[in-house]
Homo-oligomer: A and B are copies of this chain.
């Protein structure tokens, strides 16, 4: 996964556990794609300070994922939902009942995750 996408995902899941200050700067870097210099100027801190804060936030967010694996778990359910979609599309094209049964099986797996 591209680093910025992973950062965005981790932030979506665990961002609320950062401080408001960390959130503001991390969002500017990861979601709003501002440069470190822009943010440094805006927040009245050094460019290095912004860099360190982002690095620290990455570590914090990855630390939560290491413990909880919730991004991973969610990604799994999305993969399964995508598989159901593909199977139902295939079924509509070929009318194969085995394909439909497979989609039901995946839905039942999702309930058990």
Chain A interfacial positions (CB closer than 8 Å to B): 13-14, 16-17, 64, 67-68, 70, 73-74, 77-78, 81-82, 84-85, 88-89, 91-92, 97, 100, 103-104, 107-108, 110-111, 113
**Nearest chain B CB to A12's CB is how many angstroms away?**
10
> What would 12 more interface pairs be, CB under 8 Å, given A77-B110, A82-B111?
A13-B70, A17-B67, A73-B74, A77-B77, A77-B81, A78-B113, A84-B107, A85-B104, A85-B107, A88-B100, A88-B107, A89-B104
What are 26 residue pairs bridging A and B, where the CB atoms are less than 8 Å apart in the complex? A13-B68, A14-B68, A16-B67, A16-B68, A17-B67, A17-B68, A74-B74, A74-B77, A77-B77, A77-B81, A77-B110, A78-B110, A78-B111, A81-B107, A81-B108, A81-B111, A82-B107, A84-B84, A84-B103, A85-B107, A85-B108, A85-B111, A88-B100, A88-B103, A88-B107, A91-B100
The CA of A110 and the CA of B84, in the complex, are separated in Å by: 10
